[in-house]
Chains A and B, each alone.
Chain A
């Protein structure tokens, strides 16, 4: 992107400029991307590199509960886990954030005050995004007022797939304004975009509109995060950085359950975007069960023998 044909302000001038810009991005060859991604997934990470990676992965987890059955109790249990993931091994780092629905953001905020663990709230009629914009903005404002440090919004995939890029852009902008100081993660719901070309376009659209992070999925649609999709989004933030000097983050969410998976993601981060992105400021895992596997593997590394699921807390 070093030689962008016109500057980014022009790109967002109107609907037609936006369309021309997004459709002028280089295409993505599915087979080539998936092959490269699979190649990186064969990297072997050993010993101290693995230990470092496990702790880094823990520190990148957005520990998530997004169920209709969520309660303040459930959220408080999650917060406890987030602060001290492994009480028997207090050197295990806290996770990056706890991610909840907006009506429970306040519970998390109270519980996590002063801990350094951030509160992320999904908003904008998560997960479908099908609501009037005023409702979406009200959702965001509620979460921000409840103390959320981060807002995970969903884009209007219907508008995106229909080619109404300007509408999607303006909505992200409006949400960003409503966020105030809170960081904005823009969920593309890549499982619904279907093609890599659209994932690339949606990534750039979200970056142009001011998203601090681009996030793969709600976790409610299959497929959720995949390595090649994350790879592609990491290319987008890398290229964005080259053009603007500005660092934006990536968050794969949904379906990442094992330490082995997390290693593959971290290798991808390192080799696609670069080592600068190996920080919770620029890379997150949206996950619920991943943390426990990371903790089990961490114990295995420390103790020299395999651990079992009953030795770490279920929350």
Chain B
């Protein structure tokens, strides 16, 4: 062997995904053809068509809501919590049993590295069902008074960045609390939701309790506006979230929103630097940075800025960018051509605004939607790359001199989803954690998720929580 030791390609088997040429929507316990224009979902790593998915039209939304209403009135809301719990346990087990299939399918449809789909998305999705299964028969103890009632039919709209996991975050608490759901997966990533539908069927879940209606934004809008929907839950962009809030305004529907972010990751000069570098890398390059809580603004204390940036560039250069199906890939494909062009556009804006652009010298595949991990230094608070959510593998680095300045800069955004703090000094961490206006603060770690830990935003990052006791409130009439 000549040159540095390179690992051979280690591709996961595509066969495991059991990919079918056609997928159909799931309404009233049946897989049916929708009236909408079929969606051709592609593999963002190759741009090849994966499958054709029938999509819903507004009549299908009506039928799905009616099926959910029937299921809610007829069986699900009357079923004792301990029985609902067992369905959720079954679903959790089935996700585990079919974990490899789901992980591979997710990677094919989304472009995320197989190691992440396998080690994060799928197990965390199963964990959400396990956790919420246990709540179904303990709602009396959740702190909302005796016998809290479900809301009814929940219309749920999820994004493409964590298709199965976001589905789990939505469906598990809704079902545990006794609601029926109509869920619209993202247009570019409908496949795992439809395999989940099959899991519901395998679990023997009563027909209509879960309905999956693939489609584009118009179908989401129809679901939100539907008069027989009692609750709307949305995860996605702040722009669409505002539109949904406007639609729901004055209708009496309950609403929870989990929207965008521009999280600050603050590194103090006494931080455990090597772990901070890992946290920064995880914070902005996990899932190609397509994470609402991504640590997209690095705020580093001036006295360690050069040292940290040196270590960071070295570490980012070592990231393995490429085929998402390769088990050794760290950074996979951007989910769509549209998203890739938005990332490119904002990166160009960053350059024209005068920030210093540095990108990993990695080679990118010729086909597919890829973007090299990029770090902008000398970013100022006023620049667009410091204010707008890029939703891609692009980090903006700013510096600060005092703790007060760090927190002020961190809070200087309309968003408030997450934040990171790195310091070996306990009192400073607790001080910063209190002062940061963000729903999740990761101290000396980043991007940790757990069904027992509430997640959600302040300000324009949305309202309502997912996970834990607090997350139940979104699906109970309390």
Contacts and interface: CB of A to CB of B under 8 A. Distances in A.
Given A3-B307, A29-B275, 19 more contacts: A2-B310, A3-B306, A27-B271, A28-B272, A29-B272, A29-B445, A31-B445, A32-B278, A32-B445, A33-B274, A42-B115, A45-B7, A46-B9, A46-B10, A48-B1, A49-B8, A53-B5, A56-B5, A270-B4
B273 interface: yes
Interface residues of A, number: 31
A171 to B, nearest CB: 28
A56 B4 CA distance: 12
A36 B328 contact: no
Nearest to B6: A49
A235 B274 contact: yes
Given A2-B306, A44-B328, A52-B1, A29 B7 contact: no
Contacts of B310: 2
Contacts of B307: 1-3
B424 A27 contact: yes
Nearest to B271: A26
Contact of A27 (B8, B9, B115, B272): B272
Contacts, number: 77
Interface in B328-354: 328
B273 A26 contact: yes
A246 to B, nearest CB: 18
Contacts of A26: 270-274
25 contacts: A2-B307, A3-B304, A26-B272, A27-B272, A29-B275, A29-B445, A31-B444, A31-B445, A32-B274, A32-B278, A42-B327, A43-B328, A44-B327, A45-B7, A45-B8, A46-B10, A47-B8, A48-B1, A52-B1, A52-B5, A53-B5, A235-B274, A271-B318, A275-B4, A275-B5
A247 interface: no
A77 B198 CA distance: 62
B152 interface: no
Interface string B311-336: 00000001000000001100000000
Nearest to A24: B270
B279 interface: yes
A207 B291 CA distance: 41
A11 interface: no
Q: Tell me if B's interface is mostly helix, strand, loop or mixed.
A: loop
Centre residue among A27, A270, A278 by max chain B CB count within 10 A: A27
B1 A32 contact: no
Interface string A35-77: 1100000111111111011001000000000000000000000
B170 to A, nearest CB: 28
Contacts of A270: 4-5
A255 B446 CA distance: 32
Interface string B5-42: 11111100000000000000000000000000000000
Interface of B: 1, 4-10, 115, 119, 270-275, 278-279, 304, 306-307, 310, 318, 327-328, 424, 444-445
A56 B188 CA distance: 45
A3 B10 CA distance: 39
Q: Tell me if A's interface is mostly helix, strand, loop or mixed.
A: helix
A260 B59 CA distance: 57
Interface of A: 1-3, 26-29, 31-33, 35-36, 42-50, 52-53, 56, 235, 266-267, 270-271, 275, 278
Centre residue among B1, B10, B272, B318 by max chain A CB count within 10 A: B272
Centre residue among B7, B273, B304 by max chain A CB count within 10 A: B7
B451 to A, nearest CB: 19
B275 A46 contact: no
Contact of A32 (B7, B270, B275, B327): B275
Contacts of A53: 5
A33 B275 contact: yes
Contacts of B7: 43-46, 49, 267
A267 B10 CA distance: 14
Nearest to A238: B314
B406 to A, nearest CB: 18
Contacts of A29: 272, 275, 444-445
Centre residue among B270, B275, B307 by max chain A CB count within 10 A: B275
A45 B6 CA distance: 9
Contacts of A28: 272, 274-275
Nearest to A48: B8
B286 to A, nearest CB: 11
A48 B306 CA distance: 39
Contacts of B444: 29, 31-32
Top 9 closest A-B pairs, CB basis? A32-B275, A275-B4, A44-B10, A46-B8, A26-B273, A29-B275, A29-B272, A27-B424, A44-B327
Contacts of A42: 115, 119, 327
B44 to A, nearest CB: 22
A229 to B, nearest CB: 14
A270 B5 CA distance: 8
Nearest to B425: A27
Nearest to B424: A27
Contacts of A46: 7-10
